[in-house]
Amino acid sequence: MDFFRDLEKQTRIAQKERDFPDFLTCHIETILQKPEEYAHKEDEIILLTEQIALYETYAQTGYLGRGMTAGNIKETLKTIFEVNKL
């Protein structure tokens, strides 16, 4: 499943280049460690991957305010985990 590889790749890039928060990374690691449990959440994981690719530590503080914040990503993670519990 390529979308899990993409999620891992974008997470590593964000950690290395954009100071991606550890408190979010640990939740992403949970998803990556158990792909069979989250495979049915492909659309949400693709959205999460796109948000991570656009992550900026100080997003929405500049003139254009285009980046994704930790809050945006946290909300997507909540959706993935809450729906998975049903």
Residue given tokens 């992403």 in the structure block: 28
Domain ranges of the chain: 2-85
Contact criterion met (CB below 8 Å) for 71 and 40: no
Q: Would you state the pLDDT for residue 63?
A: 54
Cα end-to-end distance, the chain, whole Å: 23
Q: What is the pLDDT of residue 66?
A: 66
Tell me the mean pLDDT per 10 residues along the chain, length 86: 95 95 97 95 97 83 70 95 64
Residue 73 near residue 24, CB atoms below 8 Å: yes
